[in-house]
Amino acid sequence: ELLEAAFLVSSMLVEIPLLASIDSEEQKRKVISKPFRRLLDFADRQVFTGPPESTRDHIMQASRALQDGEWEKCRDLIQSIKIWSLMPESAS
């Protein structure tokens, strides 16, 4: 789960700016991380999103906040993931 969190956060930091800079449909098809883009598309199609429960939910809501330009909310959502305590040398 820690590895998935690190992968999704790094994918978010690469994909969201790429999505923001899209000018054409051809550029929209350019994907760096297919698993992340698939999760993001699925999250965007949800009618109702409640409070995040899992690591994946936290990251998808953080991605949506980053897309909206709310980087502080994005940062807070990412930092609130409890899995980070498993990182070596984490500040407890």
Give residue-wise pLDDT tens across range 11-58: 999 999 888 887 766 666 677 888 998 998 898 898 888 888 999 999
Q: What are the domain boundaries of the chain?
A: 2-86
Q: What is the 3-state secondary structure (H, E, C) of the chain?
A: CHHHHHHHHHHHHHHHHHHHCCCCHHHHCCCCCHHHHHHHHHHHHCCCCCCCCCHHHHHHHHHHHHHCCCHHHHHHHHHCCHHHHHCCCCCC
* Residue with more model confidence, 70 or 29: 70
Q: What is the pLDDT of residue 5?
A: 93
Q: What is the pLDDT of residue 44?
A: 86
pLDDT band at 90 (very low <50, low <70, confident <90, very high): low
pTM, two decimal places: 0.82
C-alpha torsion angle, residues 17, 22, 27, 30 (rounded to 10): 20
Cα–Cα distances (Å) from 90 to 4, 6, 70, 74, in that order, read 17, 14, 25, 20
Residue 92 has pLDDT above 60, yes or no: no
Give the residue-averaged pLDDT of 79-84: 91
